[in-house]
Amino acid sequence: MPAFCRDCDMVLPPGRDICPACGGVRLIRHPALFDLAIGHVDCDAFFAAVEKRDRPEWRDVPLIVGGGARGVVSTCCYIARLYGVRSAMPMFKARKLCPQAVVLPPDGAKYRAVSAQVRAMLERLTPLVQMLSIDEAVLDLSGTQALHGAPPAIMLARLARQVEAELGITVSIGLAPNRLLAKLAAERGKPRGFCVMDRQAVSLLAPEPVGVLPGIGPAMVRRLAGLGIVSVGQLASLDEAASLRLGEDGPSLVARAKGDDNRPVTPGREAKSISAETTFAQDLRAPKALEDALWPLCEKLGRRLRRAGLAASGLVLKLKTASFVPRTRSLRLPNPTQLPETMFEAACPLLRREADGTAFRLIGIGAVPLVAADLADQGDLADLTTPKKRARQEAIDALRARFGADVVRRGRGLAGK
């Protein structure tokens, strides 16, 4: 069975458990090891790892990166996870589970800079790199062996060592014949993992819960459980007629459970949504107070859309109650927009229907689906005001870019101040 040492790249003869060249024991074996070319790279506990790199005295202490007392955990290190802390957990709960943890606010600029360094390393291996998030990417190394003089498996092991040596963080690697299996492989053996998974390995997933499959969240897990489907194997065994009873996504769910995935690696993947949200220092109930909180988010969303060269053709309003129950409401816009007042006026009716006296701890607004910016705020013969609003916004943006964000403030943004 093909095997090599992760620490020095030596290809090993059969029967070796220790590398004869370096004495390493991190050996990778798999029948298809040198035939697979889709890699998934996942930075381990990324935000926390970057912070620990910059503060070595925190290496052996639990560390949590997250918001204030009413925020959520963005990332926690593996030591903190031993206490039960998890990403997206409310901060008050994380502090209760691990009161001795060091807690830091996120430093987005720092994390984006490190992410860009990782991406540059990936793109030296292949141009087919698709960033899935700030700390996760998939790459297609097909046909690169002649260029690098080594198969994709060895190049990925070299990459992991390079990231660790030059950037001071670690990554976990998944190697497989397609994106789905590569992601599942990367989740195994973290941190510093390297897992190989081919189609034969799908049978090993059969007894696992359906929630291990990407894209199957808690709501779908509950729905499938109501139908008596709780394992990957049960989902994979459904025939076409049964899969259609799961809804329009049924066939794709069954295909996922079988390990099927024909998605290509697409560099420069466009964002599917852009959003902005905030957690309140105190729960809010009153419609006016909620609207006052919504307005600056619409301004922020508009800025993000304009910077990205995109526009909103629909909106999603996000709320979270004091007891952490999420509510989402969506609408399609009659015309795409980047203007904060247009988004605010469209979202307010949704918000007023939800402002029924319930106490809310979070509000957010998102743009989805996204379209090109040149389709936004064009107006027509029956709408002469939208182009004027767009020109006004462009003037405000120019002033803010030159003199600072506070040089122009809208009256609505001064509510409650």
Catalytic residues: 136
What residues contact residue 223 under an 8 Å CB cut-off, 6+ apart?
none
Phi-psi region of 323 (alpha: psi -120 to 50; beta: other; left: phi over 0): alpha
Inter-CA distances, 328 with 86, 320, 368, Å: 23, 9, 13
CA distance 166 to 78: 21
Nearest to 363 by CA among 272, 283, 274: 283
370 CB burial (10 A radius; 0-12, 13-18, 19+): buried
254: Cα separation from own chain's centroid: 23
DSSP for 256-293? HHTT---PPP-TTPPPS-EEEEEEEEEEE--HHHHHHH
The answer to whether 212 touches 236, Cβ cutoff 8 Å, is no
CA distance 371 to 314: 10
Q: At 282, list the tokens.
A: 């105190």
